[in-house]
Copies of this chain bind each other. A is one copy, B any other.
Amino acid sequence: MSHTLGARQAQKQKTRQAFLDAALALLEEQSLSSLGLREVTRAVGVAPTAFYRHFRSIPDLGVALVDEALGSLHPMVRETVSTTGDSEERISRAVELIAHYVAAHPSHVRFIARERHGGVQPVREAIGGQLARFADEVRVTLAQDPGAAGWSDDDVLMLARLYVDQMLISASLFLEALERPADERDRVARLATRQLRLITIGRDHWLD
């Protein structure tokens, strides 16, 4: 088992994290395809060549950022969508999860929204892969719900994708509302709630 790392490895991970943090901060106001290697090392306070000790390239760093941003979110999503509670309760759980995550990690959310369709292929693919995982996790959870009786597998996945996409749209709206008066955030929360509610109503009558 991996016990406590030597002082050597510990320092390396610390520097690596500094790279990720600095890059994320710089990406608040530009996109990954314009982020320079020297720009990042300058922000960290190390020599340009130190970069290569941690990442092969800027796209490589971007992929690491995708994991940092979305990797820890899977258990939270599974728990939030789980079948405990009625649908209205699950909707408000979901909206609150998004609101809190955006408030706690705004620059990660911005990064994902920006690079999902951004100019760097490996990063687009990493994000696409993570979102597909989310959709599949939601699909599995939905399939366990008694309301999914009589649904085709394909339709359950269709619904799961709809939910996931809706989450992302709401996250992006919360992000825009972050640097604005608090009542703006409430409006976004109410909008997101009603949209999820409408989708859920459509789900309830899908088999009519």
Contact = CB atoms under 8 A, between A and B. Distances in A.
Contact of A200 (B110, B118, B202): B202
Contacts of A162: 195, 198
B198 A202 contact: yes
A143 to B, nearest CB: 16
A119 B29 contact: yes
A194 interface: yes
A158 interface: yes
A180 to B, nearest CB: 14
Nearest to A121: B29
Give the number of times this chain occurs in the complex, counting copies: 2
A161 interface: yes
Contact of A31 (B29, B31, B198): B31
Contact of A199 (B34, B113, B117, B202): B202
A165 B167 CA distance: 12
Interface string A13-49: 0000000000000010111111000000000000000
B118 A195 contact: no
Nearest to A34: B34
Q: Which 6 A-B pairs have the closest CB atoms?
A: A202-B202, A34-B34, A31-B119, A30-B119, A198-B202, A201-B202
